[in-house]
């Protein structure tokens, strides 16, 4: 992932890496946050701090895979908020997620980060899906 990162950005462009958070209920069910694992690994490799306590998911939402694009937007609208604005004021943020499907989750996270004072938010994901395509 760090190698892919270097194809698009220089490591010195970002002040902090922020993983897309899971709601605590979902975290208990799953046992781990894959975006946090990715962000921590990139943080170590790239030397960019990981701000895993800056953003939080304040309410549970239905699993995105089961929803249409419009329903995804409604489900995540307002679901994310900042826990700590001091870590992002004036900073350039790289938001990390595992899978990009419609962009609704990263858009909502980005809105919260920008509203909290981030100078800019870029997004980096491990995978991108195409809705409607199936592997048979």
pTM for the model stands at 0.85
**105-114 pLDDT tens trace:** 999 999 999 9
Distance from C-alpha of 109 to C-alpha of 80, rounded to nearest angstrom:
6
Give the chain's radius of gyration (CA, Å).
Answer: 15
Nearest 10 degrees: CA dihedral of 115, 25, 41, 77? -30
Cα 132 to Cα 5, 10, 25, 87: the distances in Å are 27, 34, 29, 38
Structural domain spans, the chain: 2-128
1.10.3720.10, 3.40.50.2020, 3.50.50.60, 3.30.1490.20: CATH of 2-128: 3.40.50.2020
**11-24 pLDDT tens trace:** 689 999 999 999 88
Token code pair at residue 76:
């995540």
Distance from C-alpha of 115 to C-alpha of 6, rounded to nearest angstrom:
28
Look at the block and give the residue holding tokens 């946090």.
36
Distance from C-alpha of 104 to C-alpha of 36, rounded to nearest angstrom:
19
Percentage of residues of the chain with pLDDT beyond 90: 49
pLDDT at 43 over 80: yes
Pick from 77, 44, 99: nearest CA to 17:
44
pLDDT at 96 over 90: yes
């Amino acid at each position: 992932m760090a190698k892919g990162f270097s194809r698009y950005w220089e490591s010195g462009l970002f002040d902090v890496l922020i993983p897309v958070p899971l709601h605590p209920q979902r975290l208990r069910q799953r046992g781990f946050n894959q975006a946090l694992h990715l962000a921590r690994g990139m943080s170590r490799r790239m030397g960019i701090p990981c701000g895993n306590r800056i953003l939080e998911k304040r309410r549970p939402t239905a699993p995105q895979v089961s929803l249409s694009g419009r329903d995804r937007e409604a489900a995540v609208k307002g679901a994310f908020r900042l826990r700590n604005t001091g870590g992002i004021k004036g900073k350039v943020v790289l938001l990390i997620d595992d899978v990009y499907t419609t962009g609704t989750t990263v858009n909502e996270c980005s809105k919260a980060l920008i509203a909290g004072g981030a100078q800019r938010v870029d997004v980096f994901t491990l995978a991108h899906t195409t809705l409607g395509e199936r592997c048979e």
